[in-house]
Amino acid sequence: MEDLDEMNIALKTVGDNYTDAVWIGLWRGRTWKWYWSLAYNNLYKEGERNYMILKSSGGDNCAVYRNGLVQSACTYKIPFVCFDRTRQGADQYILSNEQLAWTEARDVCRTNFTDLVSLRNDAEHQMVQELTSGQTVYLGLFKDPWVWSDMSDSSLRYWKKSQPVNVGGTDNCVAMLKMESGRWGNRNCNETHPFLCKCSE
């Protein structure tokens, strides 16, 4: 799934009569990779998904920004910067001084705007640098081992609170949970559930 719009289409496709889990094409890979949480492909030009991505594969799974990106735990309660694709220019970038952990900050940004901000190019980097004035904030950079079965590079993650669990165990496949408003949970791949297919364009 490329973005929340596509995820909502998938949720409607399943319909209201079914209330359990539905397999989607996300599974746990072997390598951890950095992604920007802003998943809308049409908002990225060529090369922008990899602008200022961290290279390390070990350590903490989020990044903070303080005049540059620094690897960090996702649990610190700090301010964050949201992005709103419906606005123009500097108004697209919203600094929140509310102190939240990374996933909480992402959820606030997704509920009220579009997502946590990505650094896609030099101009955006400068805009965020000026907005934050040396303050330590969360942006949308995170690291995880989850990969899509169609080999797309989508960064969309829509986990149920407290998911994923059993990291390194047997729950290596992901299902959309109808009773959780379509949020995702990782499950044992041997479970049987209906599944969603995506037609190639």
Q: How far apart are CA 194 and CA 147, in angstroms?
A: 20
- Summarize pLDDT for 113-147 with one digit per residue, the tens: 999 999 999 999 999 999 999 999 999 999 999 99
Q: Residue 87 is encoded by which pair of tokens?
A: 């606005």
Q: Rg of the chain's alpha carbons, rounded to an integer?
A: 17
Instruction: Give me the pLDDT at residue 57, please.
Output: 66
3-state secondary structure of 99: strand
Burial class (CB in 10 A: 0-12, 13-18, 19+), 51: middle
Which residues make Cβ contacts (< 8 Å) with residue 191, sequence separation at least 6?
21, 173, 175
Instruction: Give me the pLDDT at residue 59, please.
Output: 83
What dihedral angle (degrees, nearest 10) is formed by the CA atoms of 26, 40, 116, 163? -20
Contact 62, 36 (CB under 8 A): no
Amino acid symbol at 101 = A
Contact 54, 39 (CB under 8 A): no
Which residue positions in the chain have pLDDT lower than 50? Answer: none
* Cα–Cα nearest to 2, from 35, 42, 32: 42
Instruction: Give me the pLDDT at residue 51, please.
Output: 85
Instruction: Give me the pLDDT at residue 167, please.
Output: 62
pTM of the model: 0.85
